[in-house]
Chains A and B, each alone.
Chain A
């Protein structure tokens, strides 16, 4: 007996189908993972199953949950299921908790208002729920006093307190550090137990692999492959699935590191940086030669980005010196930002923004056309505003803008953390190619250690305490970088 059975669910934008007819069922104790890149329609599927599609989209198809059969075309009827049958683990759990309410109250209100328990009993149940998730002692804290992982556990307790047996998690690792992905998967599995249902929607391969159960791979709104998770991961049948799995940085073939004997484009000696009065790191010395990739990795808040900003001169170091290659124009030092949407003016077309860059750098518009071609971008993108361009295309357009200044050093700050694996692999490949062919010194920062390990010539690992470790092949005659701590 399935907990949830969906038959022939489709999503339409006017007349255009965004999601092809899809059927699925959720059985007790067997997780179902929907894997797909951005724009594959996986979130639309979740929204159709919950009745939360934006009003301009319409859905068709039937969903049977508990003893009810609902039509996805009339989403209002789904509201009664929320909390009572379906618990949703929200994206970005921090933002999903009321900032002015203590942790226990956010769970207790579901017990009281959804299940109708008296206040005292609701509070006691909430206390027990939180304790069961290892949150004893945190019940009186406000959300801003919780870590991301704790907030997520509070959120799942609140979502499930209404008694729903089915948990839907739509990109539950968004906004969390890579190191927390396994915790999220364990949390979801233990919440499911033997009798609950679990639907996980993600583009994160590490998360998709963990729960086991069954897997559906979506692409452009259509199912390309489905089956037992273990089997699909071990022996993918479809070419697209294979490409997707290969795009996991863990599975990349490592680039052969190259030593750098030429004079460094940028170098630092005994660098120390602090932010907000807290020392991030001290005693870092490094040099980056033309055409070399200097990778930096570490947990969030360890000072990865601040190191790059200090090299660019965007923040002053506490101690130490940064030296640039003599003769380089100041504009030859460029930065590629993490969130491309925020890096473009919102209300201007991308073409206009790029034309501005061309005019201040004294180039001509043919430069843009040449680069569009080189980066594999469609010229019609220039007419759009940043909000109407996919993340991967926009990040390549940011790269195009950086290249218009003929950089000698590029600091790429988590350039792919908001992209799905396939797009990420494409953008990193482009960056590598540009470093090698144009002789650009590239500093690549990512929280993903595998990505850095398989891409960079030299790797600097920072940890939260500010300790730095350098690794590079011993065959290099001249060290490309060194750490003095």
Chain B
């Protein structure tokens, strides 16, 4: 019960911090916000000073910042995210629409990374210093060092452009998932392979591992009965932190592949100074982080009875 309350408090703090920070950042960006918003509404070719002034007057952009921020927070208390400055639609509707696309991409990416990383990590951890272990170290260090946008471009160039196996961008068909989720998954797998490898190597060196074999269990039985569950604890715990990498990656990857998700929307909203959209999107991502971590805490507590605090 206490844990739920503290998570709720955390969520409220996150909401206030993110709302304020995004607001301040958006206000301090250089350039004329009214001009950008007008461009977002009508297109750059149709914007002139009159259109910008009209937007400025309509949205009260010249007004003081503080009342605008307090207004937003007041609305937020009623779960009203406000309306997009560009489309005029409620921010809530826009986000709800985009969140589905992002979530499906993120879930596929995580599942894919769990299929790639931990099995390789566990095999490497069973023979520390072996060939696979050393190869995995090089591969995961290399993959981790490649920025997501570069990884996306490399995959597009090789798999979509050169080989013509998959479409370079798009959304709606099952094969549109493959390249963007693979881009995200490789970055995630680079890390969780190392986590699994270190956990496995540590566990295989523990007395209970040896004892399981002395009881008469085969290598395989020992791994399945005593290895996997123990490896999963650090893996799950780390998954919460990896969510940060994932959010970061989603923003980049959606933009590169033209994926109509929340990250894509965030980038567009920033370009057109759509402050309520930026605040709303950042808020959803931040609260998602709290939710994911709370869920993982609960999951780890179920697996590992020693965790009580």
Task: Give A contacts to B, CB under 8 Å.
Answer: 50, 52, 79, 82-84, 87-88, 90-92, 95-101, 109-110, 113-114, 142, 144-145, 155, 158-159, 161-162, 164
Contacts and interface: CB of A to CB of B under 8 A. Distances in A.
Contact of A110 (B215, B226, B233, B303): B215
* 9 cross-chain pairs, A with B, having the tightest CB-CB distances, nearest first: A83-B216, A114-B216, A96-B211, A162-B216, A95-B207, A88-B214, A96-B207, A142-B305, A110-B215
B207 A91 contact: yes
Interface residues of B, number: 21
A97 B225 CA distance: 12
A82 B230 contact: no
A170 B40 CA distance: 77
Interface string B197-215: 0000000001110111111
A95 B221 contact: no
Contacts of A92: 207
B303 A100 contact: yes
Given A96-B207, A99-B306, A100-B303, 19 more contacts: A79-B213, A82-B215, A82-B216, A84-B216, A87-B214, A95-B208, A96-B210, A96-B211, A98-B208, A98-B212, A101-B226, A110-B216, A114-B215, A114-B217, A142-B305, A142-B306, A145-B305, A158-B211, A161-B215
Given A83-B215, A98-B230, A113 B221 contact: yes
Interface string B208-238: 1011111111000100011001100100000
Interface string B264-305: 000000000000000000000000000000000000000111
A346 B216 CA distance: 36
B207 A82 contact: no
A115 to B, nearest CB: 9
B305 A100 contact: yes
Nearest to A100: B229
Q: Could you tell me the dominant secondary structure of chain B's interface residues?
A: helix
Given A91-B207, A98-B208, A162 B215 contact: yes
Contacts of A142: 305-306
24 contacts: A50-B214, A52-B210, A82-B213, A83-B216, A88-B211, A90-B211, A90-B214, A92-B207, A95-B206, A95-B208, A97-B208, A98-B212, A99-B208, A99-B306, A100-B304, A110-B215, A113-B216, A113-B221, A144-B306, A145-B305, A155-B211, A159-B215, A162-B215, A162-B216
B208 A82 contact: no
Contacts of B206: 95
Of A84, A109, A144, A162, most buried by chain B (CB within 10 Å of CB) is A109
A50 B213 CA distance: 12
B306 A98 contact: no
Contacts of A96: 207-208, 210-211
Contacts of B230: 98-100
Nearest to B308: A144
Interface in B132-180: none
A228 B233 CA distance: 51
Contacts of B233: 100
A155 B215 CA distance: 9
Nearest to B226: A98
A79 to B, nearest CB: 8
